[in-house]
Structure 1
Amino acid sequence: MKLIVCLFLMLFNITAFANQLGVGVSIGNPTGLNGKYWLDEKTAIDGGFGMSLGKNTDVSIHSDYLLHKEGAFFFNDVHPLDLYYGLGARMEFEDDINLGVRIPVGLAHRVENKRADVFAEVAPIIDFVTSTGLELHLLFGGRYYF
Structure 2
Amino acid sequence: MHQTATIRDARGRLCKGLAVLCLLNLAAYTAAYAWVGGDAWNGGIEDGAYYVGGHFLHSVEGSRTPVTRGVWMYSYLHSITVWPSLGVFLLAVLALVRPHIVATFREGAISGGTVVAILGAIVVLLTAVATIMFTADFIRAICGSLG
Structure-1-length-normalised TM-score: 0.21
Report which of the two has the higher share of helix. Answer: 2
Tell me which protein shows more strand as a share of its residues.
1
Larger Rg, first or second structure (1 or 2): 2
